[in-house]
Amino acid sequence: MSAILAIRGLTTRFATPDGEVAAVSDVDLDLRAGETLGVVGESGSGKSQLFLSVLGLLARNGRATGSARLDGQELIGLAPESLRRVRGGRIAMIFQDPMTSLNPFLTVGRQLTEGPMLHRGLDERTARARAIAMLERVRIPDAARRLNQYPHEFSGGMRQRIMIAMALLPEPDVLIADEPTTALDVTVQAQILDLLRELRASMGIATVLITHDLGVVAGLCDRVTVMYAGRVVEEAPVEPLFGAPAHPYTRALLGALPRVDADGAHDLVAIPGQPPNLQRVIEGCAFAPRCAQADARCTATRPGLRAHGAGRAACLRLPS
């Protein structure tokens, strides 16, 4: 199947007072039409910055190089005005914190309608009608009345529903959801995940789900990409990845997942150590210092992504 979004050699650097930080290094990634791709990693692994780079939404001190093609159209280095038309119109993004991601000074209706009016050329009445229909679809009752309310009059879960509606209204080809449930209560998390699953089934939009929660990935994604220290360390379809993780980091992440084992005990293993400082150039494998299986080779040579089983992984210890 062809990729709707193809990322090649994408690198993102930030200029900070203490030197340059490579947040994303040489990432290759494909998103295929209609699939849901999980992108997993600890905070600081570069998973959010990767997609902010694609959309040209980096902070002022950030710079992205490499390639990201949407249906063949190059996005990196695209003129701001052309990139703007892609944002929201063809690729929509949902952010982690629904409490601060909606503008507190504008009515929800205003914020829902401005995207479709801009990208689809709708007049305000049509846009409002569609907004009401979409709010109903994301299960916000009494939508027509609530359109005139401000974000602070909604709960956190409701606001994330509004964010999802807002992203879907201009009918994008790609949806990027950046930790859409992290800031929410557990019960609300489950509701939002249900909603995303339902929308996935009914709309079939190619979706990237950025998360640090493997539980979310298991329930929602077709394929998974695991990132560590700005690089992809493993990618595979969901089942093989959970069943037989290739990379030691993936294994460690799965080990850190709380689960009720056969003997009924909760088992939570944190990964020892800290992610590396991205200001320094890392010679070998970035995970080596925390890896139980690492040997001298791992700290000297950087592993590349190689085919392994149903997916690919970047580890020198894997049999070639």
Partner 1 sequence: MTEAHAVPAVEAAALAPAGRGLWSDAWRRLRRNRAAIAASVVLALIAVAAIVGPEVAPHAIDAIYWDRVDAPPDFANGHYFGTESNGRDLFARTLFGGRVSLALGIAATLVSLVIGVGWGAIAGFIGGRVDAIMMRTVDILYALPFMFFVILLMVYFGREPLLIFVALGAVSWLDMARIVRGQALSLKRREFIEAARAAGTGTGAIILRHIVPNCLGPVIVFATLTVPQVILLESFLSFLGLGVREPMTSWGVLIADGARRVETAWWQLVFPSAFLAATLFCLNFIGDGLRDALDPKDR
Partner 2 sequence: MLNYTIRRLVGAVPTLFLIIAISFFMVRSAPGGPFDRERVVPAEIKANLERVYHLDEPLWQQFLRYMGSILQGDFGPSFKYKDFSVTELIWQGFPVSAQLGGAAVLLSAIAGVALGALAALNQNGRLDGILMAGAMTGIAIPNFVMAPLLTLVLGVYLSWLPVGGWGDGGLRQATLPVLALALPQVAYVARLTRGSMIEVLGANYIRTARAKGLPERLTITRHALKGAMLPVVSYLGPATAAVITGSVVIEQIFGIPGIGRYFVQGALNRDYTLVMGTVIFYGVLIILANLLVDLAYGLLDPKVRYD
**Residue number with CB closer to partner 2 (36 or 113):** 113
Backbone angles phi, psi at 209, to 5 degrees: -110, 105
Q: What six digits make up the tokens of 195?
A: 């909603």
Please report whether residue 95 would count as binding partner 2 according to CB under 8 A.
yes
User: Least separation, in Å, of the C-beta of 248 and partner 1?
Assistant: 14
* Nearer CB in complex with partner 1: 131/209: 209
Query: Which option in partner 2, partner 1, none does residue 23 bind, with CB closer than 5 to 8 A by kind?
Result: none
Q: Which residue number, 226 or 288, has a Cβ lying nearer to partner 1?
A: 226
DSSP per residue, 116-174: HHHHS---HHHHHHHHHHHHHHTT-TTHHHHTTS-GGGS-HHHHHHHHHHHHHTT--SE
Q: Which of residues 77-106 bind partner 1 (CB under 8 A)?
A: none
Instruction: State the alpha helices, DSSP H only, in the chain.
Output: 47-55, 80-86, 98-101, 108-119, 124-137, 143-146, 156-168, 186-203, 214-220, 238-243, 248-256, 296-300
The interface mask with partner 2, positions 205-244, x = CB under 8 A, is: ----------------------------------------
Query: Counting contacts by CB under 8 A, is residue 253 touching partner 1?
Result: yes
Least distance from C-beta 80 to partner 2, angstroms? 8
Give the integer Cα–Cα distance in Å for 4 and 204.
13
Instruction: Please classify residue 125 by burial: count the beta carbons closer than 10 Å to its beta carbon, then call 0-12 exposed, 13-18 middle and 19+ buried.
Output: exposed
Nearest to 24 by CA among 52, 57, 59: 52
- Interface residues for partner 1 in 197-226 (CB under 8 A)? 212-213
When CB distances are held under 5 to 8 angstroms depending on the partner's kind, the choice from partner 2, partner 1, none that residue 100 binds is partner 2
Beta carbons of 209 and 221 less than 8 angstroms apart:
yes
- What does the block give as tokens for 308? 């392994």
Alpha helix (H) residue ranges in 221-285: 238-243, 248-256
57 counts as binding partner 2 under rule CB under 8 A: yes
Q: Does 84 bind partner 2 (CB under 8 A)?
A: yes
Task: Select the residue interacting with partner 2 from 49, 101, 181, 189 (CB under 8 A).
Answer: 101
Single out the residue of 55, 64, 70, 291 in contact with partner 2 (rule: CB under 8 A): 55
Instruction: For residue 152, give both structure tokens.
Output: 């602070």
Of 22-30, 151-159, 264-272, 312-320, which part binds partner 1 (CB under 8 A)? 264-272
CB of 71 to partner 1, least distance (A): 34
Closest to partner 2 by CB, 170 vs 303, is 170
For partner 2, the closer of residues 105 and 268 by Cβ is 105
